[in-house]
Structure 1
Amino acid sequence: MRSASGFILDISKFSVLSLSLMLVACSKPESDPPAQTSSQSIELIAQDLIAVRTGELQTKIPFTGTIRAVNQSSIQAQVTATATQVNADVGEAVTKNQVLVRLNNQDNVARLAQARANLASAQAQAELAHNLMLRKKRLLDQGFISRVEYEQSQVDYKGQLETANAQKANLDIALKADQDGIIRSPLTGVITKRQVEPGQTVSAGQTLFEIVDPKQLEIQAKLPLEQQAALKTGKTIQFNIQGETQSRSARLSRISPVADQASRQIEFFATPSDVIQSLSIGAFVEGFIINQDQIQGQIIPLDSIQNLDHQPFVWVIRQQKIHKINIQVLEKRFADNQAIVKGLQSSDQISRIKFESRDENKTVSISHK
């Protein structure tokens, strides 16, 4: 039989062996975790990508302007008087020389009557002087008066004739003043503004009516001085009227010979190719002056360009990877969402999706669902 001390010794040896095994197990290096993929794949759908296409577009110079009437007039009172009759209102069609307002000025009436009386008196005196001159001519021929006396009668007649002519001029002035009391339309059109009422006293120079001819409308716009090369009569213009989706065309008809000193812009006018409703007068217009010059390059959607105004670039898929490509923008068409650029490859696909710098060079998978 084994003694108790021997049994205790065996237990101690077993404990030491177990402890050693545990230490060896703890010191064994752990297995490395599975390696992570350096770049993750990004999935896009075919609708997110646009193929680069090469083509050419006409040069378009953008502008803004308004619609105005070619024939329009602002009618002012020529005399200070009281309006006794107003015959037109806003929206009414009027014809040329139609009476719009009658003004009553008693002073003008009195001056007209006085001028007529003065003219009649002067003409009577001139006729009398003429008869006296003829009588003295006969007396001179018969030797009853001297030549000096006859010549004096001639001078008297000429003086009376000039007086009559002066009174005739005064009568014309009075007639003009009286006629100024009758306001007539200078053109055929439509009343757009009325600023006079019956019984109202108006002063000379006061605006009474504004009239436009709605049958002849045009575009009025301006371009910066540095773009003056685009202005040439006869050029085609494409434009849209505020509130309309329809695109219209026009021809550049007139150009101001000088630039505005304040804005440094040149004013020009264009005649629309089709009829525009009169309600569009004063409406805002956006359009382009189309040049015959063609710009060639790569055509891509304008909204796919990042940082458009400073170092523009696009995200492209090239060889199944994402790349940030700097480009040169040759032409921008905001209305058509198109741009002509340089710097791309024909096989590039433009991404509508905006990526971040850390996405560059990542692999792309394209789903065609």
Structure 2
Amino acid sequence: MQYAPRLFRSSALTICLLLAACQKQPETLPPSGNKKIELIQQDLVAINFSQSVERTSFTGSIRAVNQSSLQSQVTATATSVRANVGDAVQQGQILIQLNNQDNEARLAQAKANLAAAKAQANLAQNMMRRKQRLLDQGFISRVEFEQSQVDYQAQLENAKAQQAAVDIALKAEQDGTLHSPITGVVTKRQVEPGQTVTAGQTLFEIVDPTKLELQARLPSDQRNALKVGQKIEYCIQGSPETLTATLSRISPLADLNSRQIEFYATPNSELNPLSIGAFVEGNILAVPSASGQLIPLDTIQNLEQKPYVWVIRQQKIERVPIQILEQRYSENTAVVSGLTSGDQISRVKFNDDDLHKTVTIQRTK
């Protein structure tokens, strides 16, 4: 029994140690929300400033400013055709020779009639002068002299009529030789040697490729977008290059059937002549309407409904709602509002758990 007190003291000490162990508090860990996120400089995009421009889209084509067609003025047979499609021609150059034997015969006959009428007029004039002398000497009456005056005047009028007939025949003879109305390139030929052509038939079409323009139409309800001098951006079908032009002319009336207004624009750079007739798509650019921040289009989240971007603001991750002023798909950029100076757009997509976390940026060497 002398060991009982010692055993009791050992048991009490063991119980005290167990109680102390139960009352020890667990080690406190830092909340996961305070963990820093590391990014590299390439993950961030600095904000630039730009202006939003209202754009009105259109479709059209390329045309030559100077173009003309050559038509036959008479019915005849083509004896010679001196140009082909693609040939360069000069103004006044002979392109077609028509068979004009009948016209030559009519011209010769008209010239002969004119010569006879002039001879009769000279004879009547000489007769009138002789009768003038006889009247002065008292050998004839005044009535006889005045009759000679009438005969002379009639012969003069007959000569004038014959001269008009000569002019008509000469014009018909000249119509057998067709000349190029402008300097340019032949784009269409619709006559062959030996072919009989009719009056009014188009035989050639010629364009001047040195001066081209855009021809397009816009619905009349968008007429306010049309102003001479406005800038135009456009692309020619088959080419990704964006070109510019200046609106130069506007039709004062809308087409009664399509209710569209036709307009023309002068390209700001020289175009390939092979572009004539090519289809174009473009936009009429209005005066800048608003200014905003220029950011990459692919950094915008939820683009169609409530767009926002992830930004690093004061070294913390924030989700900032924005308003899209303009989307430029060809440049992968957008003009937006809602950001502040100093914001850095993140290309990395975060989630709600990352909000307000501290960010450290590693700078690459």
* TM-score (normalizing by structure 2): 0.73
> Which moved further from structure 2: 87-96 or 332-341?
332-341
Instruction: Could you tell me which runs of 5 or more consecutive residues in structure 1 were left unpaired when the two chains were aligned.
Output: 1-44, 354-359
SS at 2:132 equivalent: helix
> Residues 322 and 129 of structure 1: is their aligned pair in 2 closer, same or farther, counting only changes over 3 Å?
same
Deviation at 1:306, TM superposition (A): 6.1
- 2 CA distance for matches of 1:82 and 1:167? 28
Corresponding residue of 2:127: 132
- 2 CA distance for matches of 1:333 and 1:231? 22
Deviation at 1:106, TM superposition (A): 3.5
* Among 310, 314, 319, the residue aligned to 2:307: 314
Q: Deviations over 1:13-34 (max 9, x none)?
A: xxxxxxxxxxxxxxxxxxxxxx
- 2 CA distance for matches of 1:175 and 1:58? 66
> Is 1:57–2:51 an aligned residue pair?
yes
Please give the root-mean-square deviation of Cα atoms over the aligned residues, in Å. Answer: 3.6
Deviation at 1:315, TM superposition (A): 5.8
Q: Deviations over 1:111-142 (max 9, x none)?
A: 22222222122222212111111111111111
1:290 corresponds to which letter in structure 2?
Answer: L
1:99-118 correspondence runs (5 A): 99-118=94-113
Q: Deviations over 1:262-286 (max 9, x none)?
A: 2322222222233222111111223
Corresponding residue of 2:278: 283
- 1 CA distance for matches of 2:109 and 2:301? 82
- 2 CA distance for matches of 1:128 and 1:362? 121
- 2 CA distance for matches of 1:185 and 1:92? 12
Corresponding residue of 1:295: 290
Q: Deviations over 1:174-217 (max 9, x none)?
A: 11111111110011111111111100101111111111111111
- 1 CA distance for matches of 2:301 and 2:120? 93
- 2 CA distance for matches of 1:86 and 1:227? 48
How many positions carry a matched residue from both structures?
Answer: 316
Percent of residue pairs bearing the same amino acid type:
57
Corresponding residue of 1:119: 114
Q: Deviations over 1:283-311 (max 9, x none)?
A: 12233333333422354555757685xxx
- 2 CA distance for matches of 1:331 and 1:260? 32
> Residues 140 and 193 of structure 1: is their aligned pair in 2 closer, same or farther, counting only changes over 3 Å?
same
1:189 corresponds to which letter in structure 2?
Answer: G
1:233-312 correspondence runs (5 A): 233-299=228-294, 312=305
- 2 CA distance for matches of 1:147 and 1:209? 64
- 1 CA distance for matches of 2:219 and 2:339? 32
Instruction: Could you tell me which runs of 5 or more consecutive residues in structure 2 were left unpaired when the two chains were aligned.
Output: 1-38
- 2 CA distance for matches of 1:263 and 1:300? 40
- 1 CA distance for matches of 2:256 and 2:330? 30
> Which moved further from structure 2: 120-129 or 177-186?
120-129
Corresponding residue of 1:8: none
- 1 CA distance for matches of 2:258 and 2:325? 27
